[in-house]
Structure 1
Amino acid sequence: MRFPLFIATLMFLQPSVAHAESAAGEILEDDLRGHIEILASDGFAGRKPGTIGENKTVHYIATEWRKAGLQPAAGADSWYAPVALVDRTSLSESFAFQYDNGKRVKSVRIDDDQLLLRGAKPISSLSNIPLVHLGYGNQTVEEMEPVISGKLALMFLSSRPGVNGFPGYRERKANVIAAGASGVITVIKSESRFARAARRFRTANTSLDGEGKHADMEGIIGWKAVTKLLRKVDLDAEDLRDEAKSEIFQPLLLDIYADLSAETQVRSYVSHNVIGKIAGRDPASGAVLFLGHWDHLGECGPKNADDRICNGAVDNASGISLLIETAKRLTDGKSDRDIYFLATTAEESGLLGARAFAENPSFQIDRLVAVFNADTVALAPNGKLIAVVGRGETDLDEDLEKVAAAHDRKIDKTDKANAFIKRQDAYVFLERNIPAFMITSAFSDQKRLDSYLEGRYHDASDELDDQLLLGGAVDDANFHVALGRYFGNVETYKAKNAPNSAANSAGD
């Protein structure tokens, strides 16, 4: 494993002490452009976690924050919080199913292209394991444990139709694993969606590493195969799907047993979040958090392409540049509350750095009165209209309106941007009932946003060039400074969820 050398390199790259820079005045385009030019350069190789590109990126961020006057806040006077990751690549699998028809055990033939498997270890197998259909898998861990522990779970990928606030797939799957399932196989009804999932399944899947994070066996199965399996035990797949929508649906133990084996390429390594802090005058009054992800995809272009590096200028060198410049403007000692800055790893793999931080924070996150995520900000020529991802989800909308009005900004009232609410780091905090938003003019122009998503997004063409629009990013950066001043001070914002004792202000 390579991570001991990786950690040693990070120690070598600890930023040297420097005096805080004076950063009075508004943030300008050149301020943001300078950071993007460095972070999105070929020398940073696409900022992929676990590479030399990560080393350069996290060192650059920590150095800039130290120069601005921030304190390291990852614990033990460090800027870097380790995040254990694992890449698992499915290589091959074999499987066999049997069912008991009441007279004898018979085999069921499932087509090879209808089931893909991935093991937690390089060689994984389960023998004669009973299947349980969980429907959507939305029961509690305690409800599922008696019936699913030590068994193989089938569960639908999609959320239950028409139910607001229904748990997402990631949460439901985590609960199934926590309930003791030895295996989890996800049922995908749409043929086209299954085909897309199958293509992704054969590439490296990055996830958090650690005890209880993975079932022994995980996989995906097509609707045709599920229909065939259930028919053998006199069940109709469509009827079962309808029944699973009921509030009273209970996990169903099937008279079906499986022998599964998988060969999987497994690589464990350590990546890092970067965490800095501006100490407030009254830490007992709570804290504010600004965050954004530093990671991108590394090399993602076609193998025969002249340029294979996906530099991620917009996604998300632009957001990190905003955080650096925002931090510089808030280190003037005028904040009552502590202000934290968090640059996360592995957002592109499922908000993993943010999830790792929330699971093991370096400060008490119940102190947070507001969280602001900066992501993909360099898309608009100006930023008069602001999209708020997370609008309507908390009781802070009126406060955001107040800050916007004071700075001649207008908030988009259509809430179209909430389509991205689960696809960005702030969602990890919303899941924990902490007010969190992604605020950007880039998402207020649907036509321009769609053009980016259909073109340069996650492509080698997302680099610093004359197509990069920084007018809106500048306006957004200065607006984040305004948010820091408003929510950082008790006179302007009397927090509804503020701590009520100095005991809650425990340090890093």
Structure 2
Amino acid sequence: MKRIGQAMKRMTVLLLAAALTLDPLAAASRQEKALAETKAQLLSHIAVLASDDFEGREPGTDGESKTLRYIGKQFFDLGLVSGTNDPGHPWFAPVTVLGREPATSRATFSRKGKRVFVLQQDVLVYTSGKRALVENAPLVFVGTGKTIPSRADLAGRVALLLEAGIDGSDRQTALIQAGAAGVLTVLDGDHTLENVAGHRQRLGYALGGEELGGDLDAFIAGKALDAALAGTKLSVKALQDRAAAPDFAPLAVDLAVSLEATTRETKIHTHNFIAKLPGKRPAQGAVLLMAHWDHFGTCAQPPAEHLICNGAIDNASGVAVMIEVARRLAKSPQLDRDVYFVATTAEELGLLGAKAFAENPPIPLSRFVAAFNIDSVAIGPAGQAFSIVGQGLTPLDADIAAVAKQQKKKLLMDNRAEAFVRRQDGWELLQHDVPAVMVTSSWGDVTRVEAFLENDYHRPSDVVSPRLELGAAAEDVDFLTALVRWFADPRRVPYRSAAKPG
């Protein structure tokens, strides 16, 4: 009888558990509790990474050191290992960034060997290299540059271009690539030399060892060019008329020009962080998660009350999500494929950390079957549909849709978030043929993304506050965890790159 009573007791417990499982209210309560716990975990990471103590996480500063120590401790405590595959640099992969800003600018004009007087203040000359110089090069008028002349027409000459923008436009770049010794753009529209100087005096960045420049990109005020053309049959108005003619052809201008520009260079020594969750079958490839850790440091001046760009949403939130995905995977049974977690530097300087990773990866890039970037995900409530930034650009979409169905998540199969694909680290991976996307419900409502960009993006107001929305970010943790498990299973996702070993 005693045994029967114990058996009945066990049966009662099992029936009660089953009833609770089937009770939708109990299930909803458990989901709400789990969501609240994930939100609390995310907030704890963001509060540290976006604190004033971390000084805005600027590369090459004490803020970087604190950031990397924090991230490293999280992954080490979870039992992950270094993913650099470099015994000399465990966990932290060095990245050297060069910062260049304009230093000197010189332009002189001549006709038939005689100097033509133009004020230096009426011409600005820039180069992306350390120094660039061209002397006594003939000018050739190329109109608006919509049609690029042949190399024979451009070689050894400076292309005189009607206004094509002040930011290194495609037309100016195309003329340099086609053989022009330099480009001299006439500011004949709304732009002024002051506009140009304000735009171009900023620091430009590149990876260390990356050869930049030699190019010469100059700008001249329309009135100054008119003065230089005095004594010829040309003027800015005459050039505009010629450019508008349907039979326009490149025109030699009876002027020669010497252009010179130099830059000041600074070096920033910074790091990518790379961790690995080892799989049982690493020969079957790997899955990659990526989030940039950097931001802008001090970005405002007194008398502003708050001077630091803390980057709570951009991108302490992305790093927090990546840590929590790692926590769930580390507690689960071992996966078949390795999973790499990369916190990149210098994203805000032009995706340079992602570029450095792609150019010097810990394993051949062809072994990554899927990569998921995580960026600025604390901007939406729970319950939003998931969006794929990079949809249609990789072979991942069908599998992502399958996981969404499995997880009972709504997936937006449209391109509303596509405007952002070039603005995140996944774009740099795509340029190296790594199938990379962002999958997030925070970006399921583009109006919220646009509101963030309009109000707090890259501003001191991007801080931890009651307005910080973590519902969608918490749901991202669950969905990204499911995605990694799916793509780490060779039975579900065969090693597509096996035929192309790195």
What is the TM-score normalised by the length of structure 1? 0.76
Mapped to 2, the partners of 1:256 and 1:483 lie a distance apart of 63
Match for residue 115 of structure 1 among 124, 135, 149: 124
Match for residue 92 of structure 2 among 80, 83, 86: 80
After superposition, the Cα gap between the structure-2 partners of 1:276 and 1:90, relative to the gap in structure 1 and judged at 3 Å, is same
Match for residue 49 of structure 2 among 39, 57, 68: 39
Q: How big is the shift at 1:319?
A: 0.5
What is the match of residue 363 of structure 1?
A: 363
Mapped to 1, the partners of 2:457 and 2:348 lie a distance apart of 12
After superposition, the Cα gap between the structure-2 partners of 1:420 and 1:260, relative to the gap in structure 1 and judged at 3 Å, is same
Cα contact 1:155–1:187 (8 A) shared by 2: yes
Structure 1 counterpart of 2:213, one-letter code: A
Cα contact 2:122–2:221 (8 A) shared by 1: no
Mapped to 2, the partners of 1:399 and 1:93 lie a distance apart of 54
1:376-427 Cα shifts (integer Å, max 9, x gaps)? 0000011431121101212321211111121122122331100011111111
Structure 1 residue 55 and structure 2 residue 53: aligned? Answer: no
Cα contact 1:74–1:362 (8 A) shared by 2: yes
Mapped to 1, the partners of 2:373 and 2:306 lie a distance apart of 30
What is the match of residue 414 of structure 1?
A: 414
What is the match of residue 19 of structure 1?
A: none
What is the match of residue 163 of structure 1?
A: none
| Secondary structure of 1:280's aligned partner | coil
Structure 1 residue 93 and structure 2 residue 105: aligned? Answer: yes
Mapped to 2, the partners of 1:191 and 1:371 lie a distance apart of 43
What is the match of residue 246 of structure 1?
A: none
1:105-148 Cα shifts (integer Å, max 9, x gaps)? 77485884663524633x66443346686957999xxx97x987
**Pairs within 5 Å for 1:159-170:** none
Cα contact 2:164–2:171 (8 A) shared by 1: no
Mapped to 2, the partners of 1:427 and 1:155 lie a distance apart of 31
What is the TM-score normalised by the length of structure 2? 0.77
1:436-473 Cα shifts (integer Å, max 9, x gaps)? 11122222222222221111111101011101000000
What is the match of residue 400 of structure 1?
A: 400
Cα contact 1:137–1:156 (8 A) shared by 2: no
Mapped to 2, the partners of 1:156 and 1:477 lie a distance apart of 51
**Pairs within 5 Å for 1:8-407:** 28-77=38-87, 78-98=90-110, 107=116, 109=118, 112=121, 115-118=124-127, 120-121=129-130, 125-129=133-137, 135=145, 191=190, 198-212=197-211, 214-219=212-217, 221=219, 236=239, 257-262=256-261, 264-331=263-330, 332-407=332-407
Tell me whether 357-366 or 123-132 shows the greater mean CA deviation: 123-132
Mapped to 2, the partners of 1:187 and 1:76 lie a distance apart of 51
After superposition, the Cα gap between the structure-2 partners of 1:60 and 1:226, relative to the gap in structure 1 and judged at 3 Å, is farther
Mapped to 1, the partners of 2:361 and 2:466 lie a distance apart of 39
Structure 1 residue 482 and structure 2 residue 458: aligned? Answer: no
Structure 1 counterpart of 2:306, one-letter code: D
1:274-304 Cα shifts (integer Å, max 9, x gaps)? 1111222222222211111111011112332
After superposition, the Cα gap between the structure-2 partners of 1:285 and 1:184, relative to the gap in structure 1 and judged at 3 Å, is farther
After superposition, the Cα gap between the structure-2 partners of 1:479 and 1:45, relative to the gap in structure 1 and judged at 3 Å, is same
Tell me whether 327-336 or 29-38 shows the greater mean CA deviation: 327-336
Cα contact 1:227–1:237 (8 A) shared by 2: no
Mapped to 2, the partners of 1:172 and 1:485 lie a distance apart of 47
- The structure whose Rg is larger is 2
Mapped to 1, the partners of 2:463 and 2:124 lie a distance apart of 38
Mapped to 1, the partners of 2:103 and 2:169 lie a distance apart of 24
What is the match of residue 466 of structure 2?
A: 466
Mapped to 2, the partners of 1:252 and 1:271 lie a distance apart of 48
1:27-73 Cα shifts (integer Å, max 9, x gaps)? 70111111111110111111111111111112222221222222212
Structure 2 counterpart of 1:71, one-letter code: V
1:355-392 Cα shifts (integer Å, max 9, x gaps)? 12212222200111111110000000114311211012
Mapped to 1, the partners of 2:340 and 2:162 lie a distance apart of 38
| Secondary structure of 1:89's aligned partner | strand
Structure 1 counterpart of 2:136, one-letter code: N
After superposition, the Cα gap between the structure-2 partners of 1:113 and 1:255, relative to the gap in structure 1 and judged at 3 Å, is closer
Mapped to 2, the partners of 1:190 and 1:411 lie a distance apart of 46
Structure 2 counterpart of 1:115, one-letter code: L
Mapped to 2, the partners of 1:477 and 1:188 lie a distance apart of 50
Structure 1 counterpart of 2:93, one-letter code: A
1:192-214 Cα shifts (integer Å, max 9, x gaps)? 698766423222222223252x1
Cα contact 2:145–2:171 (8 A) shared by 1: no
Structure 2 counterpart of 1:478, one-letter code: D
Cα contact 1:440–1:476 (8 A) shared by 2: yes
Q: In structure 2, list runs of 5 or more residues that go unmatched.
A: 1-33
Mapped to 1, the partners of 2:71 and 2:221 lie a distance apart of 46
Mapped to 2, the partners of 1:125 and 1:170 lie a distance apart of 22
Give identity over the alignment, percent: 36
| Secondary structure of 2:102's aligned partner | strand
What is the count of residue pairs matched by the alignment?
Answer: 456
1:63-108 Cα shifts (integer Å, max 9, x gaps)? 21222222212232311222121112224422224467xxx77748
| Secondary structure of 1:289's aligned partner | strand
| Secondary structure of 1:443's aligned partner | coil
| Secondary structure of 2:269's aligned partner | strand
Cα contact 2:368–2:434 (8 A) shared by 1: yes
Mapped to 2, the partners of 1:238 and 1:335 lie a distance apart of 68
Structure 2 counterpart of 1:289, one-letter code: L
Structure 2 counterpart of 1:34, one-letter code: S
Cα contact 2:172–2:183 (8 A) shared by 1: no
Cα contact 1:156–1:186 (8 A) shared by 2: yes
| Secondary structure of 1:498's aligned partner | helix
After superposition, the Cα gap between the structure-2 partners of 1:186 and 1:404, relative to the gap in structure 1 and judged at 3 Å, is farther
Mapped to 2, the partners of 1:333 and 1:253 lie a distance apart of 72
| Secondary structure of 2:100's aligned partner | strand
